[in-house]
Amino acid sequence: MKLTGFQDRLAFVTGAAGGIGQALVAALQEAGAMVVATDTPGALAAGDFIDGDRLIWQALDVGQDSPDALIAEAEARFGPLMLGVHAAGVLSTLPMLEAPAQEWDRVMDVNARGTFNVTTAFGRAMVAHGKGGAMVTVSSNAAGIPRMNMGIYAASKAAATMLTRCLGLELARHGIRCNIVAPGSTLTPMQTGMWQDDDGAARVIAGDGASFRAGIPLGKLATPEDIAAAVMYLLSEQAGHVTMTDIYVDGGATLRA
Note whether 30 and 64 are same-domain residues.
yes
Note whether 194 and 141 are same-domain residues.
no
Catalytic residue status for 233:
no
CA–CA separation, 35 vs 63, rounded Å?
A: 21
Beta-strand runs (E) in 47-189: 55-59, 81-86, 133-138, 176-183
Residue closest to 118 by CA, chosen among 87, 159, 82: 87
3-state secondary structure of 243: coil
Average pLDDT of each block of 10 consecutive residues along the chain (257 residues)? 96 97 98 98 94 97 96 97 98 97 98 98 98 98 94 98 98 98 82 59 74 88 96 98 97 84
Residue closest to 207 by CA, chosen among 188, 192, 182, 185: 185
Note whether 100 and 46 are same-domain residues.
yes
59, 39 contact by CB (below 8 A) = yes
Measured at the CA of 140, the angle between CA 125 and CA 75, to 5 degrees, comes to 15
Note whether 199 and 98 are same-domain residues.
no
Note whether 59 and 101 are same-domain residues.
yes
Single out the catalytic residue among 153, 167, 222, 249: 153
Instruction: Count CB atoms within 10 A of the CB of residue 213.
Output: 19
Judge whether 163 lies within some domain.
yes
In this predicted structure, what is the pLDDT of residue 189? 65
Note whether 121 and 136 are same-domain residues.
yes
Note whether 40 and 158 are same-domain residues.
yes
What backbone phi and psi angles, to 5 degrees, belong to 83? Answer: -135, 130
CATH of the domain at 132: 3.40.50.720
In this predicted structure, what is the pLDDT of residue 51? 96
Query: How many folded domains does the chain comprise?
Result: 2
Q: Which domain holds residue 200?
A: 189-221
In this predicted structure, what is the pLDDT of residue 119? 98
Note whether 238 and 206 are same-domain residues.
no
Note whether 87 and 200 are same-domain residues.
no
Beta-carbon-side half-sphere exposure of residue 160 (alpha carbons within 13 Å): 39
Tell me the pTM: 0.94
Judge whether 1 lies within some domain.
no
